[in-house]
Amino acid sequence: MAETPGPSATRGAAPGRPGAHGTLITVAPTGAEHAKADVPTLPVTLDELVRTARDCEHVGAAMIHVHVRDDQARPTLDLGRLRETVAALRSETNLVVQLSTGGAVTDPEADRLRVLDALPDSASCTMGTVNFGDDVFLNRWEFIVELHRRMRERGIVPEYEIFDLGQLAALRRLLDEHGLPAGGHVHVDLVMGVPGGMPGDAETLVAALRLLPEGATFSATGVGRATLPVLFASLAAGGHLRVGMEDTLSYARGERVRDNAQLVARAAGLARVAQRPPLTPDEVREILGVRLPAGAPS
Ligand code: KMH
Ligand code: ZN
């Protein structure tokens, strides 16, 4: 009897598609939403962030999605701090360093664009406006185009953050009108389960896959209680994973996350069970087309 095609025949990990043999694990250790006072284990200082990054690399992370905090542990997009953070993560780890251009919901567009002047390997680029709990995460079309344009100019590889299905149509429009990103490869992160965005379940993840641009790879992130359903659905569909305390503070029912490495280690273990073990940072650079941006100190 002929075997039915397995996950490697789905979009996002079709046979021969880059990365299909392994799993990119991104850690998002901090975010902009949780207060240090409420979550004392949240990494907010540069030392805490570097230590977290090393621990997470050790257990299987290949990329880090970074939000930085100021001396009072409040979210900041201070350029000096961002540059210092990129330099420290480059010298202390081999991780692909991705800066958030999403920042906090209160951050102005000009500050979010300036993040790119820190010349990270990669940066997030959210593909549309979404209700974000009781707030609005604003991403106007012209702003998205400007982010995409500046990343192309600087050689920074975007990760397109998708909070709702219509944002995948916006991504197709962006690529049609403004060309492929730096690196020549399209990589998407489905951020699922944000109150106001798409739900974090297997049916929605499968619906998203039909809308992905041809040849694109995808990661998926389940926020809060969507963490595990999205993780399993993404692995089953041949996708990659983002985990971390930005997205969830609960490890299991009634059990708080100990630290980011605990979440990465669990994702890495499940990726091995799925026969798609964690990809190394260098494998991920190859897949996503990441090179050191022009002008970045090595
Ligand atoms: N903090 C959220 C408002 C990103 O990093 O690009 C946006 C966010 C997305 O976290
Ligand atoms: Zn983020």
How confident is the model over 183-213, as pLDDT tens digits?
A: 999 999 999 999 999 999 999 999 999 999 9
For 198, the enclosing helix (H) or strand (E) is: none
In this prediction, residues 243-262 reach a mean pLDDT of 98
Name the pLDDT band for 12 (thresholds 50, 70, 90).
very low
Q: Please state the separation of Cα 173 from the chain's center in Å.
A: 21
What ligand has the least distance to the C-alpha of 107? 1
Q: Is the pLDDT of residue 244 over 70?
A: yes
Judge if the beta carbon of residue 126 lies within 6 A of ligand 1: yes
Name the pLDDT band for 4 (thresholds 50, 70, 90).
very low
Cα 100 to averaged position of ligand 1 atoms, centre (Å) = 6
Q: What pLDDT was estimated at residue 17?
A: 53
Query: The tokens of 182 are what?
Result: 């730096």
Judge if the beta carbon of residue 204 lies within 6 A of ligand 1: no
Q: Is the pLDDT of residue 7 over 90?
A: no
Q: Is the pLDDT of residue 11 over 70?
A: no
Pocket test for ligand 1, best of 77, 98, 113, 126 (most atoms within 8 A of CB): 126
Q: What percent of the chain has pLDDT over 90?
A: 91
Cα 161 to averaged position of ligand 1 atoms, centre (Å) = 9
For tokens 């990494």, the residue is 43
What pLDDT digit, counting tens, does each position of 146-176 carry?
999 999 999 999 999 999 999 999 999 999 9
Q: Is the pLDDT of residue 16 over 60?
A: no
Q: Name the β-bridge partners of 136.
A: 131
CA 205, CA 192: separation in Å to the nearest integer? 8
CA 69, CA 290: separation in Å to the nearest integer? 26
Q: Please state the separation of Cα 76 from the chain's center in Å.
A: 19
Judge if the beta carbon of residue 124 lies within 6 A of ligand 1: yes
Q: What pLDDT was estimated at residue 218?
A: 98
Report the mean per-residue pLDDT for the chain.
Answer: 94
Task: Flag the least confident range among 11-15, 19-23, 54-58.
Answer: 11-15
Q: What pLDDT was estimated at residue 66?
A: 99
Ligand 1 atom, smallest distance to 100 CA: 5
Rounded to whole angstroms, the maximal C-alpha distance in the chain is: 64
Judge if the beta carbon of residue 167 lies within 6 A of ligand 1: no
Model-level pTM?
Answer: 0.95
